[in-house]
Structure 1
């Protein structure tokens, strides 16, 4: 498989078209090879996480967005298994609370940002406000933004301003040491249907099924347009998007894992080196312990 960062990465919205990205593109890779590589990635990830935590300077924010049943939860589970929980923080964002609506739309996401030295994973994110809220603009009314009292008020300027807020938010984080990588797990409507049917037919998966998920399928094209617009408006070299083929879960996990590891490698976290004075003290402590 060619470099997945180059193959699936989007760093500019210029000429971006979601239709150019297949949902089942795994190249010539076989499942057995991908699973073996994923095991290797997990070992590398563990090492990079330890360096990142010890360095205590940078942080990595991983954003996962997708249609329902695209495999966000399983990607987190498989890719991040073995990672020390002390250095990893996972947040799954649901419908905003009444308290969330007392603040601007970025507030609750800012509170969930990873601390220095840590990896943060946002399962859904601030992008819901330009995805779900774009498809269902009536949700925006709960924010009680001055000047926006009716659905018709959410015009082109409103969405452009929201995209600008997101770009500024992410640029600010980048300048202050938080690297952001954003994944869109690109699943086909046909594959989503199969996974919904699995949830109905297999008893141990029944709890995953929601009637709302089926209802949202009627807005599929609206969601695809919303994703295309949001990705094009917010993809930058500093905070890129990755369009991951998700019809084959094993390949999506491979691609996500490889991109995370390669991103950490580019960040070059290092174990801190002690000053000479402290190194000399360590020698004396060692000698004292050995003489006990």
Structure 2
């Protein structure tokens, strides 16, 4: 694990205690200018590692992004994945379940959006909405939540066993920072499209969201699908940390492109050209 990520991982079985984690933690960075070259280096490294992952074609990566409203999920995707080969990357944003979603099991809608082998998949919100949000608004009770936690642990273990590395990030912002961002969405016409009245409703349940996120992350942060709590009041810290996490994950996977099954020296291009 890199120096930038130290202390961000949720230890399996340990409560992350969001209230004690600083949302404005700079992670040792001095300024935005300090973070900019780190982000650029990470994106460059990710491009190369993504190419190797695609060439290998055996495994994939799934980045799950969760957080309170206005925590920066869209901005993170835009900043970190700009420059990454779109042919090897997929992004899916999960909204409120539709009537068709409710006609199936809750994991069905995420299952069909999983990344292909050789690709990086990004979930903007995810199956964790069906645990945390569903519990906050009383769609499910405690007993059903515990059952879903078991489902998700098994689901993510299956993905890992089948070659998909799951990495989950919680974008941690303060309540004051959220209010500032929500006001910006109202004050600036070009950001009106981002504002949803439901954000204000959810804000009233801030403590409940934190409570259930803590409970769920404690139970679902595993060695095969860990959670990381990313301080996100400063967007540039958020971007640098998540990009570093992705590079660290891909580097650890160490994807290997296939080698030629014949001796390269035995290929005679003149003959090939004559035949064609």
* TM-score normalised by the chain length of structure 1: 0.89
Between stretches 204-213 and 15-24, larger displacement belongs to 15-24
Deviations 1:131-180 (A, max 9, x none): 11011123x5xxxxxxxxxxxxx2x3221111000000000000010000
Q: How does 1:20-99 map to 2 (within 5 A)?
A: 20-29=20-29, 30-99=31-100
Q: Secondary structure at the match of 1:9?
A: coil
In the alignment, the residues of structure 1 paired with residue 229 and residue 270 of structure 2 have an alpha-carbon distance, to the nearest angstrom, of 52
Corresponding residue number in structure 2 for 1:240: 226
Output the CA distance in 1 between the equivalents of 2:231 and 2:249: 19
List structure 1 runs of 4+ shifted beyond 6 angstroms: none
Matched residue SS, 2:61: strand
Instruction: Show structure 2 runs of 5+ residues with no match.
Output: none
Which whole-Å CA distance do the structure 2 matches of 1:89 and 1:231 have between them?
24
Distance 1:288-1:68 versus aligned 2 partners, 3 A rule:
same
CA distance 1:136–1:37, change in 2 (3 Å): same
Matched, 1:191 2:177: yes
**Normalising by structure 2, what TM-score?**
0.94
Shift of 1:10: 1.4
Shift of 1:18: 2.0
Partner of 2:156: 170
Comparing 96-105 with 174-183, greater Cα deviation is found at 96-105
The answer for the alignment partner of 1:5 in structure 2 is 5
Separation of aligned partners in 2, 1:131 and 1:98: 20
Which residue does 1:126 correspond to in 2? 127
Partner of 1:262: helix, strand, or coil?
A: helix
Q: CA deviation at 1:289?
A: 4.0
Q: How many residues align?
A: 275
For 1:250, the equivalent position in structure 2 comes to 236
Unmatched segments (≥5 aa) in structure 1: 141-153
Over the aligned positions, Cα root-mean-square deviation in angstroms equals 1.9
Return the alpha-carbon distance in structure 2 between the equivalents of residues 72 and 286 of structure 1: 53
Helix, strand or coil for the counterpart of 1:7? coil
Distance 1:291 1:244, change over 3 A: same
Q: Which residue of 1 aligns with 2:248?
A: 262
